[in-house]
Amino acid sequence: MKVTTHTDPEALAMTTSAELSASAERAWQLVSDPRKLERWWGPPEWPATFVRFDFEPGGRAHYYMQGPDGERLHGWWKFVSITAQTELFIEDGFADENGEPSGDLGVTTARVTFEPTDSGTRLTILSQYQSLDQLEAMLEMGMEEGMRLAVGQIESILRDEPEGN
Amino acid sequence: MVVDELSDAQVDAMFRALADATRRDIVTRVFSEGVSVSQLALKYEMSFAAVQKHVAILHTAGLVTKQRQGREQIVRGDVRTIQRAQELLARLEDVWTQRVLRMEAVLNAE
């Protein structure tokens, strides 16, 4: 599977797309079933747990991502609009431990669309950010992930290395 | 200037500078070798003053350096700042790319 991205720095927007090897019906479960959603939303070292999931237009979700040291980062979603197996539009922001919006970093939005193709489902995500401060805060997670992956790779290389080398 | 310690205002200026197609083109042209403002002005259908203004915005954002050489201003790309801009964008892209790769993994595990 090839993931393509297009970034628009002026608009602080980004489009990510890929063709998933599943029907739109199955692909839709990735966003509509919180247990499946938890398996991809957070990086491996920061897995997400959704504790509230009111999957209906205007409904809210509350999740947290837990880091390796037990630190929890809470977030909220608002399901702005839902068109089954076709499009999901959400607002996403930082939350306190009760799932209430917190901080002054504002919201990001994501429009996730699913289009059937001959061999699967075309997935397109349009992410919209509000400010560079917000972007930096979001990126902390991605950077954390990249660094931990790198550390993990170094550890496995060292383990495979024979003694004395 | 330590590249890793760019302030938010500097990053902001950098992104705004790169949001314009002409300025991105200028950065590309001056990336490998210095080009004078008057040479640059010949490449675009706009006035010398307009090109000079674009260069000034790139300079404020730290993306290019200007050096006087006789009667000419030589413009050169500031590699470190450009790399920082690319890195920020790449990291932003990577967050969603990794998510989509995990989505496919979830589907394949079923």
**Per-residue pLDDT band at B7 (split at 50, 70, 90):** low
Q: Under an 8 A CB cutoff, do A16 and B108 touch?
A: no
Give the pLDDT score at A24: 94
Task: Count how many pairs of residues, chain A against chain B, have C-beta atoms within 8 Å.
Answer: 87
**Residue A32 counted as domain residue:** yes
- Which value does ipTM take for this structure? 0.79
What CATH number should be reported for the domain holding residue B46?
1.10.10.10
B-interface mutation test, from A2, A15, A16, most B Cβ less than 10 A away:
A16
B93 touches chain A (CB under 8 A): yes
Q: Under an 8 A CB cutoff, do B100 and A16 touch?
A: yes
**Residue A74 counted as domain residue:** yes
**Per-residue pLDDT band at A152 (split at 50, 70, 90):** very low
Give residue B19's domain range: 3-109
- Contacting residues for B1 by C-beta, under 8 A, at least 6 apart: B62
The predicted-structure confidence for B61-109, as pLDDT tens digits, reads as follows 888 999 998 989 999 988 777 776 666 667 778 888 889 999 999 999 8
What CATH number should be reported for the domain holding residue A55?
3.30.530.20
Share of residues in chain A with pLDDT > 90 (%): 52
A9, A36, A125 ranked by CB distance to B19: nearest: A9
Please state the domain count of chain A. Answer: 1
A98 C-beta neighbours (distance < 10 Å), count: 11
Does the pLDDT of residue B51 top 50, yes or no? yes
Give the pLDDT score at B61: 85
Q: Under an 8 A CB cutoff, do A136 and B15 touch?
A: no
**Per-residue pLDDT band at B19 (split at 50, 70, 90):** confident
Please state the domain count of chain B. Answer: 1
Q: Under an 8 A CB cutoff, do B92 and A139 touch?
A: yes
Give the pLDDT score at A77: 96
As to burial, measured by CB atoms within 10 angstroms (0-12 exposed, 13-18 middle, 19+ buried), residue A55 is middle
**Residue A76 counted as domain residue:** yes
B105 CB neighbours in chain A (<8 A) are 40
Q: Which of B:18-77 have CB within 8 Å of A?
A: 18-20
**Residue A165 counted as domain residue:** no
Does the pLDDT of residue A155 top 70, yes or no? no
Does the pLDDT of residue A158 top 70, yes or no? no
Does the pLDDT of residue B9 top 50, yes or no? yes
Does the pLDDT of residue A110 top 80, yes or no? yes
Does the pLDDT of residue A134 top 50, yes or no? yes
B10 CB neighbours in chain A (<8 A) are none
B2 touches chain A (CB under 8 A): no
Give the pLDDT score at B15: 77
Between A84 and B15, the higher pLDDT residue: A84
A2 touches chain B (CB under 8 A): no
Does the pLDDT of residue A84 top 80, yes or no? yes
Give residue A61's domain range: 4-160
The DSSP line for chain B is --GGG--HHHHHHHHHHHTSHHHHHHHHHHHHS-EEHHHHHHHSSS-HHHHHHHHHHHHHTTSEEEEEETTEEEEEE-HHHHHHHHHHHHHHHHHHHHHHHHHHHHHHH-
**Residue A37 counted as domain residue:** yes
**Residue A69 counted as domain residue:** yes
